[in-house]
Amino acid sequence: MNDSASFPMTRWTRVLAARGGSDEAKAALSELCEAYYEPVHAFLIHTVAGQSSRDLTHAFFAQLLERGGLTSVEPQRGKFRSYLLGAVKHFIADQRDRDRAEKRGGGVADLELDEVEAELKSAAPPDSLYDREWANAVLHRAIERLTEEQLEAGRERQFEILKPWLNGEAQALSQADAAATLGVSENIIRVAIHRLRKRFGENVRHEIAQTVDTPEEISAELNYLIEALRQG
C-alpha cells in the first residue's frame, strides 16, 4: 500500500483538513500547542523580559486557539514546527508595535515589553534555540508514551532500571548489575534494551508524524531533530 494513502489523520493533518474550523480541528491544535508550549516559551525568554515571557506565551497560545488566530492555517501548510515558529515571530512583532504605540499615546500595554532589553535583542533569537527545545519536547513525549506502555505491560520496575540506556545516562552503569538487580541474565537485559530502543524510536516517529502534513516529511524531520540536538 502507498504510504501517502495510508497516512493517518494525525493532529496536524486534522487541523489542515478543516482549516481550523471544526471542534475536532481546534481540539487537535490545542493538543499540539500543549505539547510544544515550552519551545515557544524558551524562544520568548530570549526576546522579552523574563517575568513577562510566561504571560506573553500564554497570550500567544490563547490568541492562536481563538477562531481568529487560525485564519492563516491552510492545507499544504507543511510542518507544525515551522508554522508555530512563524506564528510566534509574527505575534512578537505585533506586540512590540502595539506596546510602542500605546506608550507614545500615554497608555500602558497589557503585556508591556522591556524596551531596553528588546532593543538589545532587536534581532530575533536564533531559530536553533527553538528547534532544540522542539526536539527535546518530541523526545520527552516519546519517553512519556513509552513509560505508559511499560506500565500497562507490568514492566514498570524493569523500565525504571533500563531507562538510562535510552536517555544517555547509562555511561557509569553496567548491564551486568542491571541483570543482577532484576534477577535475569545479561542476554535478557541486552534484548530488553534493544526492544526499548526500537520502541522509543517508533514513538519518536509517531510524535513527529503528528506535526507534519505528509508521510514523506517524517524522515526529513527526524534528521532535522537529530541535527538540532547535536547543535545544542
What is the per-residue DSSP string for 151-219?
HHTT-HHHHHHHTHHHHT--TT--HHHHHHHHTS-HHHHHHHHHHHHHHHHHHHHHHHHTT-SSTTHHH
Same domain flag for 73 and 166: no
Residue at a domain's end among 106, 125, 144 = 125
Domain count, the chain: 2
pLDDT (0 to 100) of residue 50: 55
Q: How far is CA 99 from CA 66, 114, 117, 161, 200, in A?
A: 21, 10, 14, 51, 45
Which of 94, 125, 156 is at the close of a domain? 125
| CA dist., res. 212 & res. 65, Å (int) | 19
- Rounded CA-CA distance 149/139 in Å is 15
The answer to whether residues 44 and 111 touch, using CB atoms and an 8 Å cutoff, is no
Give me the pLDDT at residue 40, please.
93
Q: What is the pLDDT of residues 118-137, one digit of tens each?
A: 443 445 457 888 999 999 99
| Domain region containing 114 | 1-125
Please tell me whether residues 121 and 7 are part of one structural domain: yes
What pLDDT score was predicted for residue 148?
97
Q: What is the pLDDT of residue 173?
A: 86
**pLDDT score of 149:** 97
For residues 3 and 46, state if they share a domain. Answer: yes
Phi/psi for 80 (5° steps) reads -65, -40
Same domain, 89 and 193: no
* Residue numbers of the chain with a pLDDT score lower than 50: 1-5, 107-111, 115-122, 124
